[in-house]
């Protein structure tokens, strides 16, 4: 049973709509069509069939009565009177073609049971060879009956053989279905529009784009979801702001003791047994000042900068130019243009941190970017020693040992910035022999 369901499920997925609006309309349309089909089948199969049999039986009985009267006399005057009576009482135009014989003709089947019912009634009630033509005259049905001395030609009005109510019924059925489906589609579109706006707002917020609170609309459940999303968005934004401000304040306060340490270390003699230790301590203090400055710059950018559409190739050229001024050998290979919606200064800071990490451990650096589907991939390659696979995730932790024992916040800040844009950073082996940092950003 499971295998059978799987075989039919795969092609069904390609046919069925994937959007919420399409599936909702399909849920409305399928029962509506089933109900209409059942109603039409009942009307067409029972009521219309019954009326058709009765109308065909009446016409065939009138023709049978006329043929019986014609058999009872050979007087031309009496026969003419019988034919005129048939036209006056039955609305059947009839004439006798003496000496004629039925010509064999192919029967054309028309839509509906009328021709079959008339043929059955003629065989049962008339009992003589006959032929019917439903296509030659649009207003009448031509019937030829073989008599012993000729052919009786009958023109029966079509209105006597079927009712036009079938067309009225079909038009009413189809028109009401279209009207009801249109009204349901309008209501469903309004409901789905509120859900679509909520989904778009959630996606933009996940990409780090400040769209503000969304207006609750639609059904009660959708309004509750929108209100809950606004509250969640405000709580997350408030938490991030408080965290950034707190860490920025801590980093700023650390500058005072670090300054005192630098002054104290500057008082040490340039030569002597403590000179080497003083130099190491000075290097550590400078490293701490660089980390604090980097985080303060990151915090200021997070608070003030707004996202906009920028060309990623231009950002890479700026990062490469800054690295070359610091003495690095950097190559850039990027498609042009690569528009991405992001905070330019923050992304430049993240890529600069990746390039600085590579510059400390490698001699050559290569920057590249390309568009893949709905994402832009940025690769930072180097020819350094690289990082073992089991330690690549740990280097993103704050103050974790880097590739060659260094500590800092550079990679942590870089990943934080990229993830705030809805992307991610992964580390892997580089074709240059060192480390590759792969940055994926949604377009």
- Mark which of 112, 133, 163 sits at the end of a domain: 163
Q: How confident is the model at residue 438 (pLDDT cuts 50, 70, 90)?
A: very high
- Mark which of 163, 194, 218 sits at the end of a domain: 163
pLDDT digits (tens, 9 = 90+) for 320-346: 888 888 888 888 888 778 888 888 888
* Beta carbons of 58 and 66 less than 8 angstroms apart: no
* Beta carbons of 339 and 309 less than 8 angstroms apart: yes
Residue 282 lies in a domain: no
Mean per-residue pLDDT over the chain, rounded: 80
Query: For the CA atoms of the chain, what is the radius of gyration?
Result: 45
Average pLDDT rounded to a whole number, residues 33-61: 80
CATH number at residue 140: 3.30.450
Peptide bond into 57 cis (omega under 30): no
Best mean pLDDT range from 106-110, 244-248, 357-361:
357-361
Residue 111 lies in a domain: yes
CATH number at residue 319: 3.30.565.10
Residue 159 lies in a domain: yes
Residue 385 lies in a domain: yes
Instruction: State how many domains the chain has.
Output: 2
pLDDT of residue 10: 62
Best mean pLDDT range from 20-34, 71-85, 230-244, 336-350:
71-85
pLDDT digits (tens, 9 = 90+) for 158-205: 888 877 666 777 788 788 888 888 888 888 888 888 888 888 888 777
Residues spanned by the domain of 19: 15-163
pLDDT digits (tens, 9 = 90+) for 197-242: 888 888 777 766 777 788 888 778 888 888 898 898 888 878 877 7
- Mark which of 133, 163, 193 sits at the end of a domain: 163
Residue 232 lies in a domain: no
Residue 3 lies in a domain: no
């Amino acid at each position: 049973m499971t295998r059978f369901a799987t075989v039919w499920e795969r092609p069904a997925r390609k046919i069925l709509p994937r959007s919420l609006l399409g599936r909702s309309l399909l849920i409305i349309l399928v029962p509506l069509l089933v109900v209409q089909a059942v109603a039409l089948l009942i009307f067409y199969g029972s009521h219309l069939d019954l009326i058709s049999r009765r109308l065909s039986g009446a016409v065939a009985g009138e023709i049978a009565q006329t043929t019986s009267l014609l058999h009872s006399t050979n007087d031309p005057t009496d026969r003419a009177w019988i034919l005129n009576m048939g036209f006056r009482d039955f609305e059947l135009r009839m004439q006798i073609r003496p000496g004629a014989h039925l010509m064999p003709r192919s029967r054309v089947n028309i839509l509906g049971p009328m021709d079959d019912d008339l043929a059955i009634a003629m065989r049962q009630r008339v009992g003589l060879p006959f032929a019917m033509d439903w296509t030659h005259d649009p207003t009448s049905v031509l019937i030829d009956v073989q008599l012993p001395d000729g052919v009786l030609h009958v023109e029966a009005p079509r209105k006597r053989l079927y009712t036009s109510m079938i067309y009225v019924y079909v038009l009413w059925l189809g028109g009401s279905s279209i009207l009801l489906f249109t009204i349901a589609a309008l209501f469903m579109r309004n409901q789905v529009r509120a859900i679509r706006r909520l989904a778009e707002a959630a996606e933009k917020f996940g990409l780090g784009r400040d769209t503000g609170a969304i207006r609750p609309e639609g059904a009660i459940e959708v309004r509750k979801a929108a209100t809950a999303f606004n509250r969640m968005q405000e709580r997350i934004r408030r938490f991030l702001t408080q965290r950034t401000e707190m860490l920025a304040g801590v980093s700023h306060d650390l500058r005072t003791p670090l300054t005192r340490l630098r002054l104290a270390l500057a008082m040490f003699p340039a030569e002597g047994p403590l000179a080497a230790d003083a130099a190491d301590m000075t290097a550590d203090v400078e490293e701490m000042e660089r980390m604090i400055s980097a985080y303060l710059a990151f915090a200021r950018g997070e608070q003030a900068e707004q996202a906009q559409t920028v060309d990623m190739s231009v950002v890479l050229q700026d990062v490469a130019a800054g690295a070359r001024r610091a003495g690095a050998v950097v190559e850039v290979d990027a498609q042009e243009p690569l528009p991405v919606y992001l905070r330019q200064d923050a992304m430049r800071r993240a890529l600069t941190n990746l390039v600085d990490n590579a510059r400390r451990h490698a001699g050559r650096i290569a920057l590249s970017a390309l568009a893949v589907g709905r994402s832009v991939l940025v690769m930072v390659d180097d020819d350094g020693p690289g990082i073992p696979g089991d330690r690549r995730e740990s280097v993103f932790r704050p103050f974790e040992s880097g590739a060659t024992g260094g500590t800092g916040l550079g990679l942590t800040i870089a990943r934080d910035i990229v993830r705030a844009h809805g992307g991610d950073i992964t580390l892997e082996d580089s074709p240059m022999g060192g480390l590759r940092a792969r940055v994926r950003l949604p377009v």
